[in-house]
Amino acid sequence: MSQTTSNVYIQVIEDVITKVREEFTNNAGPGEGVLTELQSLWETKMMQAGAIVGPIDRSAVAKAMGPGAAGANTVHDLNVPYEGPDEYETPTADLLFPPTPLQTPMQTPLPAQTPLPGTAPTPLPGTVDSSYNIPTGGTPITPSEYSSIHENGTSVRQPNTYMQPPSPWIPQAQRPPLDVNVAYVEGREDPDRLAANQANQANQPTTQDFFLLSGKRKRDEFPPQFRPGGYIPQQDGAADVIADKVEVGQGSNSQPGHGPTFSSRIPQLDGPIPDPYDDALSTPNIYNYQGVVNEDYNVANTPAPQEMQAPTPAMINQNEDDDEDEPLNENDDDDDLDDVDQGEELNTQHLVLAQFDKVTRAKSRWRCTLKDGIMHINNKDVLFNKATGEFDF
Amino acid sequence: MATFELYRRSTIGMCLTETLDEMVSNGVLTPELAIQVLVQFDKSMTEALDSQVKSKVTIKGHLHTYRFCDNVWTFIVQDAIFKYDETQENVGQVKIVACDSKLLTQ
């Protein structure tokens, strides 16, 4: 870093600080201490960046620039900065952080209550305080408390709209076990209730999947349990009715959650279903895939109808078709990105910022005259008053 | 006096911007005051370059890209050679961004 550049930078800093001082020290301003902090931070960053050679120059320049102002600054350097930052930063930290924590606890208890199907509605309608009390102290909810809460919950119906309908069914049989993880409990006891709940709770399929997977049950045992709780029955039923209607209007990339779309794939699947599921059973990933997300399942099934046996290859084929187009575009983008990346590297490595007086071109010969420029080249800052450029294009 | 925000991308400008960002995010500074500081920097930097810097530079190289948009010339020069103060710097690729000097005088 050239000495001249460093000196100019120091003088610019001094000039800026001097000229904004009034804004800082007037009634509405944050005060001289903040200004001093600004200057010290700025200079520190400049020294770290190597743009200012050293503090010695700065002090020298500062003294040279204005003894009175420099003296005032040094006084403030000793006293104000330490108090100022501490006073400001501490409260600001408090101010900044609270919002996050506030939101977090709000959200946390809600989901915590949600798993408690019967109870969830109750705490929500009640005061916020009660909702907080329940999750913290009362994770284990005694049946009596639960029943009382539940009564309240029934009395106040608002949350029920948010909660799954199954809540009324569950409480009677499952109140005590629901304390911790409702989903798992339900999954275990579900066989009786699956038919009723399957339409209501989306979580159950997942629960079953994990349960079954963890149990490593054989395929023979699977179908009966899988069908009652799984997607298949819904698909089959819906497929028969809606499939024909839907196929006309909807594309292959239909959105998840739409029953019709879902079903549209199914009728074709009905034939192949046993095979895919056999494969699915043997392959955990696919199975989770199906159980957890409906969207993916739709996508996966979409190709399946086209080719009987293997949904996977079918899907690959389609993807390949899509990918064939995308890679071409991506490659084009990559070419552009290469330039962009290089440009970004330029921003950090070699950059000239200036004003132009004149830019001319004769055939492929470019000439430009620049003035008042800052160059950052090979990790050095160089200032110039005038510059001439000659480029061949 | 009109000013360019151009120089904020320089080392000194980036350091100032980072400093102001920190102080604003800490609540020490108001964004309005921070902007005032930046505007003052634009002026001070321009004045300093105009009055205190006397050096001259010549740049040669292969013009890879040129662009003139919103009165701003942008050149990407490859294999550039910078000569100044009897020194020479070779750069594989450099980006030159230049605003119209006439805009300042108007």
Domain of residue B62, CATH code: 2.30.18.10
Q: Domain check: are B12 and B48 in the same one?
A: yes
The first and second tokens of residue A298, run together, are 């739709």
Min mean pLDDT across A42-46, A278-282, B62-66 is at A278-282
Residue A123 located in a structural domain: yes
ipTM over 0.90: yes
Q: Which residue among A41, A88, A393 sits closest to B63, beta carbon to beta carbon? A: A393
Token duo for residue A267 = 């009728």
pLDDT at A164 over 70: no
Average pLDDT over residues B97-104: 89
Q: Are residues A34 and A46 in the same domain?
A: yes
In a domain, A104, yes or no: no
A279 and A320 share a domain? yes
Query: Of A23, A29, A38, A49, which Cα lies nearest the Cα of A73?
Result: A38
Phi–psi pair at B100, nearest 5 degrees: -75, 120
CA distance A163 to A85: 48
Q: Name the pLDDT band for A34 (thresholds 50, 70, 90).
A: confident
Residue type, A266: I
What's the whole-number average pLDDT of chain B? Answer: 90
* Residue A83 in this model has a pLDDT that exceeds 50: no
CATH number of the domain at A358, please: 2.30.18.10
**pLDDT exceeds 90 at position A290:** no
The rounded distance, in Å, linking the Cα atoms of A327 and A333 is 9
Could you give the residue ranges of the DSSP H alpha helices within chain A?
3-25, 32-49, 55-65, 67-96, 99-107, 109-113, 128-137, 143-155, 158-162, 169-174, 182-197, 203-215, 222-229, 232-249, 259-270, 274-282, 284-292, 294-301, 303-306, 311-348
Residue A356 has pLDDT above 50, yes or no: yes
Query: Do the Cβ atoms of B77 and A391 come within 8 Å?
Result: yes
Which of B4, B14, B15, B83 has the highest number of chain A CBs within 10 A, making it the mutation to test binding with A?
B15
Q: Are residues B48 and B10 in the same domain?
A: yes
Instruction: Look at chain A and report how many structural domains it folds into.
Output: 4
Instruction: Give the domain extent around A296.
Output: 231-347
* Sequential DSSP letters for A261-306: HHHHHHHHHHTTTHHHHHHHHH-HHHHHHHHH-HHHHHHHHTHHHH
Residue A26 has pLDDT above 70, yes or no: yes
The β-bridge relationship of strands A351-362 and A365-377 is antiparallel
Please name the residues in contact with B36: beta carbons below 8 A apart, sequence gap of 6 or more.
Answer: A20, A23
pLDDT of residue B22: 92
Q: Do A95 and B55 touch (CB under 8 A)?
A: no
Q: Work out the pLDDT band at A240, boundaries 50, 70, 90.
A: low
Answer yes or no: do A374 and A357 share one domain: yes
Residue B20, pLDDT > 80, answer yes
A216 at B interface, C-beta within 8 A: no
Same-domain pairing of B30 and B66: no
pLDDT over 90 at B21, yes or no: yes
Banded pLDDT at B19 (limits 50, 70, 90): very high
Do B10 and B48 lie in one domain? The reply is yes
Residue A160 lies in a domain: yes
Over residues B73-88, mean pLDDT: 91
Would you call A377 and B94 a contact, using CB atoms and an 8 Å cutoff?
yes
Look at B29 and A38 and tell me if their CB atoms are within 8 Å.
yes
At residue A61, the pLDDT reads 46
In this predicted structure, the answer to whether residue B26 has a pLDDT above a threshold of 70 is: yes
What is the model's pLDDT at position A186? 44
State residue A347's pLDDT score: 45
8 Å CB contact of B27 and A91: yes
- For residue A173, pLDDT beyond 70: no
pLDDT score of A334 more than 80: no
Task: Confirm or reject contact between B73 and chain A (CB < 8 A).
Answer: yes
Same domain as B46, residue B63: no
**Residue A152 falls inside a structural domain:** yes
Instruction: Establish if B43 belongs to a structural domain.
Output: yes
The band of B41, judged by pLDDT with boundaries at 50, 70 and 90, is very high
Give chain A's length: 393
For the ranges A168-172, A282-286, B58-62, the maximum mean pLDDT occurs at: B58-62
Q: Which of B1, B66, B24, B82 is nearest to A383 (CA)?
A: B82
Domain boundary residue among A70, A96, A122? A96
> What is the H or E stretch that residue B12 is in?
helix B11-25
DSSP per-residue letters across A111-169:
HHHTTSTTTTTTTTTS-HHHHHHHHHHTSS--HHHHHHHHHHHHH--HHHHHS-TTTTH
Q: How confident is the model at residue A199 (pLDDT cuts 50, 70, 90)?
A: very low
Parallel/antiparallel/unpaired status of strands B87-100 and B72-84:
antiparallel
Same domain (yes/no): B48, B76: no
Give yes or no for A310 touching B (CB within 8 A).
Answer: no
What count of CB pairs under 8 Å joins A to B? 224
**Hey, is the C-beta of A388 within 8 angstroms of any chain B C-beta?**
yes
Residue A368 has pLDDT above 50, yes or no: yes
Q: Do B11 and B47 belong to one domain?
A: yes
A contact test, residue of B77, B86, B87, B106 with most A CBs within 10 A: B77
Q: Identify whether residues B26 and B41 lie together within a single domain.
A: yes
Q: What is the CATH number of the domain that holds B22?
A: 1.10.287.190
Residue of A nearest to B73 (CA): A356
Q: Would you say residue B1 lies in a domain? A: no
Length of chain B: 106
> A377 and A327 in one domain?
no
- Is pLDDT of A87 > 70? no
A29 CB near a chain B CB, below 8 Å?
yes
- Residues of B with Cβ-Cβ distance to A20 under 8 angstroms: 33, 36-37, 40
Residue A274 sits in the same domain as residue A242: yes
Please state which of the ranges A131-140, A209-218, A281-290, A326-335 shows the lowest mean pLDDT.
A131-140
Is it the case that residue B78 has pLDDT exceeding 80?
Answer: yes
Task: Say yes or no: B61 contacts chain A, CB-CB below 8 A.
Answer: yes
Residue A225: pLDDT over 90: no
Q: Which domain holds residue B64?
A: 58-101
Interface of B with A in 1-60 (CB under 8 A): 4, 6-7, 9-12, 14-16, 18-20, 22-23, 26-30, 33, 36-37, 40-41, 43-50, 52-60
Mean pLDDT over the full length of chain A = 57
What per-residue confidence (pLDDT) applies to A278? 52
Of the candidates A251, A262, A249, the residue with the CA atom closest to the CA atom of residue A293: A262
pLDDT at B57: 92
Q: Quick check: A92 and B101 CB within 8 A? A: no
Name every chain B residue with its beta carbon within 8 A of the beta carbon of A88.
26-28
Structural domain total, chain B:
2
Residue A37: inside a domain? yes
| Closest CA–CA distance from residue B65 to any residue of chain A (Å) | 8
For residue A197, give every residue at least 6 positions away whose Cβ sits within 8 Å of its Cβ, in sequence order, or none: A166, A169, A186, A190, A204, A229
Banded model confidence at residue A49, pLDDT cuts 50, 70, 90: confident
- B44 occurs within a structural domain: yes
